[in-house]
Homo-oligomer: A and B are copies of this chain.
Amino acid sequence: MKKIEGKITKRGPESWELLNYLGESIRIQGSIYKIRKMKGFSFVLLRTKRDIIQCIAGEELQLPMEECCVELLAQVVEENRSKRGFELHILEVQVLSTPAEESPIVINQKLVDTSLENLLDYRPITLRNEKQRAIFRLQAGICKGFREFLAGQGFTEIHTPKIVQAGAEGGANIFKLEYFGQQAYLAQSPQFYKQMMVGVMERVYEIAPVFRAEKHDTSRHLNEYTSVDLEMGYIQSYEEIMEMETAMLRFTMEHLQAYYQNALELLNVKLPAINGIPAISFREAKEKVAKAYQRPVKDWEDFEPEEEKLLYELIYRETGCEFVFVTKYPSSKRPFYAMDSVEDARVTESFDLLFRGLEITTGGQRIHDYHMQLEKMQSRGMNVDLFESYLMMHKYGMPPHGGLGLGLERFTAKLLGFENVRYATLFPRDINRLVP
């Protein structure tokens, strides 16, 4: 019987280790990203898992077509004109696989010069573009930053079900499915479960898909997105949740700055400084925008997207901060589990976080008292019997608690300066798109 030892085969150095091999011959794998023929030699760009590496091939070498996968034997040569300080002189090319056809879309220029629709239709190919894939390297870095921060703050990662019996956010924006003869839904958020888990572990988080059957066809809506959810017990006020989010965002920006320089440079990203984030109540924000732009307030219960942008402009001008917390949203616009304010029951102990004019987070303190929760549900005409397992936690004791959900794709998009959230979504799902 064979024994698998758990040995990792490395057939050569990683691209980021190459500077340590100056003068040496090494083996390296990758795709032929681009060939540019010159007089007597060719420039070859090799796409490896993290970097695009500049190589030189003499004219005696037979070069395979672009998007071939190859193993090169090459010498690492110091080259100050190259951004990385070296280039590879190719000695041998071994072809590992050959495409059946040339790509119908040019992917090896600085930008993939095509419509958003084409970009998404050809996602398996267009993502191979250096800048396109850097977006998702950074997105992975954001998740890594969040996770490291949260682990350091005593949060435990959880995995909660996405097929559920009742929606947390209510309303019609919920996908239905048949579940062995029962009606079931796709979870709009892990809300109920993360609250339950606060009663168990005090601090929990989850980074996972959520589903919204919204019919909006806008630049900021997706029907499936990745939600970064956290929930924490023993808070004295919803402000502690905002403090936690501010610290998490600051930590994560520092994490990107420290470990993702290549991707940041490539995408020309200027990370926002987070020294502190201004907080303004919903009512004050409405008044502020109305006054500054002489727009009479039409709706005292909600923001229009335009107002969020104007608020951002005002706050940025005043404070230099690109984030703003808007607090104390009207109770009528918040879900049944939101804690109303003691001083004014028409508003909730809640907040949204806007980043560069777009809402990226909704959060707040939740009701922990059983009777208070029952009362609020009844006052909304809800059938409490449908929520028996949710209310179980309140009935048998819960700490004061709250939390938030952050849309990963929206945050990534705004961070990278995209006007459409789809640019920051690997394989977007919207009202018109189900493939790839």
Contacts and interface: CB of A to CB of B under 8 A. Distances in A.
A392 B432 CA distance: 20
Contacts of A139: 159
Interface string A128-143: 1000010011011001
A93 interface: no
A397 B97 contact: yes
B8 A201 contact: no
A333 interface: no
A320 to B, nearest CB: 12
24 contacts: A4-B279, A6-B243, A8-B247, A11-B234, A14-B154, A49-B201, A69-B399, A97-B369, A97-B400, A99-B396, A100-B370, A102-B396, A121-B389, A124-B390, A125-B392, A128-B199, A133-B201, A137-B156, A161-B209, A161-B429, A182-B434, A196-B436, A389-B436, A390-B436
A332 interface: no
A197 interface: yes
A67 interface: yes
B175 A157 contact: no
Interface of A: 1-9, 11, 14, 29-31, 48-50, 67-69, 71, 96-103, 121-125, 127-128, 133, 136-137, 139-140, 143-144, 147, 151, 153-154, 156-165, 175-180, 182, 184, 186, 192-193, 196-197, 199-203, 208-209, 211, 215, 223-224, 226, 233-234, 236, 239-240, 242-244, 246-247, 249-250, 274-280, 318-319, 325, 368-371, 389-390, 392-400, 408, 426-429, 431-432, 434-436
Contacts of A243: 4-9
Contact of A160 (B125, B160, B368, B427): B427
Contact of A163 (B165, B211, B432): B211
A97 B368 contact: yes
A7 B247 contact: yes
Q: Residue among A31, A182, A193, A408 with the most chain B CB within 10 A? A: A31
A30 B140 CA distance: 34
A8 B8 CA distance: 41
Contacts of A203: 49
Given A280-B1, A436-B392, A69 B123 contact: no
A240 B9 contact: yes
Given A1-B279, A243-B6, A125 B393 contact: yes
A426 B49 contact: no
Contacts of A31: 199, 397, 399
Q: Residue among A211, A234, A242, A319 with the most chain B CB within 10 A? A: A234
B244 A124 contact: no
Nearest to A226: B159
A184 B434 contact: yes
Given A2-B280, A276-B3, A395 B101 contact: yes
Contact of A234 (B8, B69, B127, B144): B69
A156 B180 contact: no
9 smallest CB-CB distances across A and B, nearest first, come from: A389-B436, A6-B246, A99-B397, A49-B202, A67-B397, A100-B370, A69-B399, A6-B247, A124-B196
A8 B14 CA distance: 39
Given A5-B246, A5-B275, A162-B209, 15 more contacts: A4-B279, A7-B243, A9-B243, A48-B202, A50-B154, A50-B201, A96-B400, A97-B398, A127-B199, A136-B156, A159-B408, A163-B186, A180-B215, A193-B426, A196-B436
Nearest to A48: B202
Contacts of A397: 31, 67-69, 97-99
B223 A399 contact: no
A392 B8 contact: no
A240 B11 CA distance: 12
A133 B400 contact: no
A151 B140 CA distance: 10
